[in-house]
Each structure stands twice: as structure tokens, then as C-alpha cells.
Structure 1
Amino acid sequence: MKKLTLSLATCAAVLLPLGAITLPTAAQAQPSIFIQTAPPPPRAERVPPPRRGYVWAPGHYEARGGRYVWVRGEYVRARPGYAYRAPQWQDRGGRWEYRRGGWDRDGDGVPNRADRRPNNPYRN
């Protein structure tokens, strides 16, 4: 048992300085996804009639397993005082970055901590 503990401690001491083990930090809370190939053009969707108290979240492509997968649009419950920002792909010098959608309160177009925890499902 002592040999196993000593071996694990030695491996950890060797790997930690190399950055092989990473611990989650606040900066990693919303990781960016980068892909080398451009996403396909958005699909045409039939938007159902408006629903009172809901906002239409358009369909978009997400990267899963090294390929693009279409996620259909849907209605999401509206949040008074917030604007919904749809997910989008942006070209960053030949690499495509996926920016998750979400609720934006401060009007800067970016759902972030300044919006006072907008995606908390238990918030009234």
C-alpha cells in the first residue's frame, strides 16, 4: 500500500508542473470551443406562431464528437428585463469559435457575470 501511495505521489509531482492536470477555475466556467472548419449554413426553420410569455430561440449548429450537429429552435420562457442572445459561430483568424447563447441584462450583447446569474433556473 505504501508503494502505491508513493507511486501516485511521485506521478502527481511530475505531472503537475507539466500542466497535465488542470483544475477548474472561474476562467474555465464557460469554455470556448474552437474548430478549424466553418459550420454549415443555418437550416431554414418554420417558426411556430408566437406564444405569450415566450421568446423564440432559433436553431443552430453545435460541435459534438468532432462534427456539427443541428439543434432545432424552440420557445424559451421570457425573462422580463433580459434580452435573449442566440448562439453563434465567429471566425477568429481561420478558427471558428462557438459562443453560447443566453440571457443578457446589461445590454452589452454578452451573457456574463455582470448579468447577475441570468441562467439560474431557480431564480424568480
Structure 2
Amino acid sequence: MQAQAPARRRALLAGGLAALALALGGCVVAPAQPYYYGDVATAPPPAPLVESYGAPPVVGSIWINGYWRWGGARYAWVPGYWHAPRPGYYWEPHRWAPAGPGWRMAPGYWRRG
């Protein structure tokens, strides 16, 4: 009976080590990515993409340029679009500016002008 106890311990230890190896096998160490400090990205945005937008779908429409949006781990391009004009207003585009340890986006908006 005592001869079975060490064999049982070895089997339990081997099973535990196998389970640990399986559990840690899925661990991945990812490279550091830019991240948010609240609503501030820690890396500057890429250069704006050049978009070709052709003729407006309706005469008088204005083109709103695309912009880089911060998604918490990386930037994603938001494409531009056509918008109906707003008499007495002009479009103030999205822009990124340095802010403390990172970059903050000021969203675009219609400004009375």
C-alpha cells in the first residue's frame, strides 16, 4: 500500500504540471501599445489620409474630411463624407493637439461664421 502513495503523488504532480503548462501556454506578451490617459492618446496621430471624393451628390454639399480616431489601443481612420450646407455656419474640422503627456482630439463642429 505504501508503494502506491509515491506513485500517486508523482501522477498528481505530473497532472498538475501538465495543467499549468496548458494554462500558461496561451499567455502572450504583447509589445507596448499607445494607450489613453483618460481621453488623451499617448502617441501622435498618423498623417491624414488623402481621400478622393469626386463630385458632390447634391449641388452645394460640402466635403467633411476624414480624421484619425483613437480607439484606446490604436488609431483608426474615419472616412470623410458629404454634408448639406448650413447657412451662416462653416465646418471646423477635427484636430489633434499635444496635451500633457499625449495628444487630445478636438472634434469637428459647425461654427457660426
TM-score, structure 2 normalization: 0.59
Q: CA offsets per residue over residues 20-78 of structure 1, 9 Å max, x none? A: xxxxxxxxxxxx83111001111111132244231110111001132101011111111
Q: Does 1:54 align with 2:50?
A: no
Instruction: Report the 3-state secondary structure (helix = DSSP H, G, I; strand = E; otherwise coil) of the residue aligned with 2:86.
Output: coil
Identity, % of aligned positions: 33
RMSD: 1.8
For 1:35, the equivalent position in structure 2 comes to 41
Give the aligned length.
75
Letter of the aligned partner of 1:35 in structure 2? A
Deviates more, 1:33-42 or 1:91-100: 91-100
Judging changes above 3 Å, is the alpha-carbon distance between structure 1 residues 48 and 37 closer, same or farther for their aligned structure 2 residues?
A: same
Counterpart of 1:72 (choices 67, 79, 90) is 79
Gaps of 5+ in 2: 1-37
* Distance of 1:33 and 1:78 partners within structure 2: 30
* Distance of 1:83 and 1:59 partners within structure 2: 16
The residue correspondences of 1:61-100 to structure 2 (distance < 5 A) are: 61-100=68-107
Q: Relative contact order: is structure 1 or structure 2 higher (C-alpha 8 Å, sep ≥ 6)?
A: 2
Query: Offset at 1:93?
Result: 4.4
Structure ID, larger Rg = 2
